[in-house]
Structure 1
Amino acid sequence: MSKVRQDAWSHEDDVLLAETVLHFIREGNTQLKAFDEVGDKLNRTSAACGFRWNAEIRQQYEQAIAVAKKQRKEKKRAITTNKKSNPTRSLLSVLHQPTISYEEVPTEITPATPLIAPTLTMDDVISFLQTMQNEHASTQQLYEENMVLKQENKKLKQEYEQLQHRYAMLTEQQNGIQEDYEALMKIMDRARKLVLFEDNEDRMAPIFKMDKNGNLEIVSN
């Protein structure tokens, strides 16, 4: 079932949209996901929620947005600090170790010579690869979300242009009707004046009668 809502946004709808977006910002999620969640709750499209947020609500919550972004940054910093306090070294730290100089390279490699740092385990390698995979997936998801927003924005622009064209046509039609109406009123006004003028002429024409002597005399006016 498609989402079709033509009614206006209520104050409660705006508050729900704002609280959801701020929550998603604090948690490090995208605003598009917040629009999807609000759209499901209010039976509106994600594009409609995004348009409402950017056009009407966002400017009212600038300070709250800044606080939410700060909380997200502090949360990430705390997670990073916890990772650094872990005694297990990550694969990145091993790969970025200083290069061994030629003087430090042993002249003879024996089985006792370690080629990999002994603290690097298979779990470290797997964890690193999973992290890289998750980051790649997140980047891909952001790219796809961006493409969806671009397509929706393009569609909205096309609909806006169509509405503008239709509005111009209706305005032109209305102007034509107004001109025809004014021309008709002028014709009717001239016709009315002409009828009144002819009636006056008929009433003003004198009526003559000839008497017994052959003279004309006015009977009535």
Structure 2
Amino acid sequence: MTAVRQDAWSPDDDLILAEVTLRHIREGSTQLAAFEEVGERIGRTSAACGFRWNSCVRKRYEEAIQIAKQQRQKRNYLKKQAIVATPHVSSIAVYETEERAFSANAVSTEDALSVDSIIRFLRQFKTTYQDVSRQIKSFEKELRDKEDEIERLREENERLSKEVNNVQTDYRAVNDDYKTLIQIMDRARRLAVLTHEEEAKPRFKMDANGNLERIE
């Protein structure tokens, strides 16, 4: 079974991050606001989203970022032109006019580049997918090697534990024999001392006249 990190970014997460960030760029918002929105949608912190964007996802969408910036510039330009041309129009009407103009321009730009962008994105996604697949296979092999190593160490530990138990049993037996030998040697020493003392005492016998004489 392949172990998957709980904090790993999925392709869907990267796609949401790219779509929201590009939308904020087009609308003239900040990337921080985009990261906060993405974080709320996928359950991550804005800092994690920002790090993912700058370290990985941004590289795949360089051309899309430039298009979004151009659309933002055109959006701002059209907004200024609408305000200058119709100074007495209400703010709501100006906004609606600008939105229609921006949408028409965006459609024409996206129609011209959408096919190339999609093809490029799919190629990049395929390359990324292949890289991820290779990494997963490498991690699986490393995991199997670690499991084999753990099993080998477990068997080695069991063998050494049995050897230690055997050595401890032999040690207790030898220790008991040693104590018994010491006790035997101690008793033999005391008997030897008593025998020597008895032999060293003078002995006497009585002769026919009733006198005691020493026996050598």
TM-score when normalising by structure 2? 0.47
Tell me which protein shows more helix as a share of its residues.
2
Larger Rg: 2
